[in-house]
Amino acid sequence: MAADLWDVLACPCPEHAPVAPDLSSGRVACTACARTFEVRGGIPVMLLENADGPAGTSSPLSDS
């Protein structure tokens, strides 16, 4: 992904925090809520309903 896109990407969580690449998993991780998002074809899929929670747990939204 282009380096300048990291400056505009934000997590869809209420904090709208910046995201960073998680090189160990190949996913994108929120710097505030620690959710991770899948990357498909070089494009992050930043949907809360598809996110994994912190430390590989399921999304808190899926528990409700």
In a domain, 13, yes or no: yes
In a domain, 63, yes or no: no
**CATH number of residue 26's parent domain:** 2.20.25
In a domain, 33, yes or no: yes
Top-confidence residue, 62 or 8:
8
Range of the domain at 12: 3-52
pLDDT surpassing 70 at residue 11: yes
Reported pTM: 0.76
User: Of 1-10, 26-35, 51-60, where does mean pLDDT reach its minimum?
Assistant: 51-60
pLDDT surpassing 70 at residue 4: yes
User: What is the model's pLDDT at position 32?
Assistant: 94
Total domains, the chain: 1
For 3, 25, 27, 33, 47, the CA distances from 55, given in Å and listed in that order, are 26, 11, 13, 11, 18
